[in-house]
Amino acid sequence: MSHRRIPKRKAVLAGAGAVGVAAAAILLPHANASQSGSGSEPKGEPRTLSAAAAQDLVSQLGPELGEAYAGAYYDAQKQQVIVNVSGDSNEVIVQVNEAGAVARPVENSMGELKSAADTLARDATIPGTAWAVDPRTNQVLVTADRTVAGDSWNQLESAVKSLGSGMARIQKSAGEFKPFLEGGDAIFGGGSRCSLGFNVTTGDGQPGFLTAGHCGVADDQWSEDPNGAPIGTVQEATFPGEGDFALVTYDDPATEAPSTVDLGNGETLDIAAADDAAVGQEVFRMGSTTGLNSGQVTGLDATVNYPEGTVTGLIQTNVCAEPGDSGGALFTRDGSAIGLTSGGSGDCTSGGETFFQPVTTALAAVGAQIGAGDAGGDQGQGEGQDQDEAGQEDGQDEAGQEDGQDEAGQEDGQDEAGQDEAGQDQAGQDEAGQDQAGQEDGQDQAGQDQGDFDGN
């Protein structure tokens, strides 16, 4: 794919808004590193894989395993894919191991977990709540923000209890779930500020970009300056409902819209294609408010109950974000587009939970593709990416942190003041399957290493 230089005036539109982040200084020092995953390991031994290659393997194995498949996740520390297997079929375990993954017997099937999520959608659609299947614990992880209290808390707790022991657990969030929309500086519309996600080419060859759906419904025209002339018009927007994404086309059809993300401090990253997320994967987020930040994917197909309505099918992460970051790019070190910032709780001081619209789903819905449309039309599956071009395995914490360790020692889901705002004694009760320590394996809520492209 070719990438043409654009005037400085348009540079803010070449990905997420530019924010000077010195730590963004780039991934190129690792470009000569190598990655295993070519199948050279002995048959039956776990393969060493990048997160992208792990996702490809899971996409192949999942349908083959049928009802025995109970989810999967990426172990970034070991660079292996873990596949949950329900039932007592030794043949399935052998099949998983021979494929190069690690088979992990679990109690709850994927069908049971999805049924539990459906029950929550029926009985606990309460503003300030969210849930997603957590394959690392083989449970549905339910998160309640600080607004869930009193009768709402009792309703949520009752719904979780009704699922039975070991099916779901509750964690508390110190913040409040909301879309990250704000008035300020990046792309502007109707007095609101959002962030551009990824430049795309529409089905009829027009240049455009993806952003958050709640930005698209806030106004139908967007500019690059406060009160400036419009440079793009919303063509499609979904929010709330089955996603949070919008397609904006540039009003000038001659606009050059390179497939890059602005990392700040004069650095950019080429975006080659879109790909699906994997639990445990290392991801980076760029936004016009907080710049470049990193973290891990913690859940897939998440449901979030915002005050404006319920949104389904999202990616859950522990990457921090703040108002104004909405619509910004979530991507991998090797240049795969993963998500668009939707919303969440917390901030980039205390951490929090955040949710992203999958880019692959958004592209399919609006009939667009990443970049200038000359990438052979393969937008979203990342097939054959056994090697991370930057020489770094997606999901690996270069600072040497153990996967899932909170650098600041802050327990995920725990009120920072040590108080359960809903009046629950987190240190002593687990009546609803509540995760008393609040610590989710693989989640680094407060220890985000901002702009960790250089391993520092």
User: Residues with catalytic annotation?
Assistant: 214, 244, 326
Alpha carbon separation from 46 to 59, 79, 312 (Å, rounded): 17, 9, 33
Helices (H), 66-182: 90-98, 110-123, 151-162
Q: Which of 81, 96, 72, 78 is nearest to 51 (CA)?
A: 81
DSSP letter assigned to residue 86: E
- 132-168 burial string, b = 16+ CB within 10 Å, else e? bbbbbbbbbbbbbbbbbbeebbebbbebbeebeeebb
CA distance 220 to 427: 48
DSSP letter assigned to residue 391: S
Lookup: tokens for 255: 């606009």
Q: Which residues contact 261 (CB under 8 A, 6 or more apart)?
A: 14, 15, 16, 198, 268, 269, 271, 286, 329, 331
Chain centroid to CA 441: 16
**DSSP-based three-state secondary structure for 260:** strand
CA distance 189 to 99: 50
Q: Which of 18, 75, 38 is nearest to 296 (CA)?
A: 75
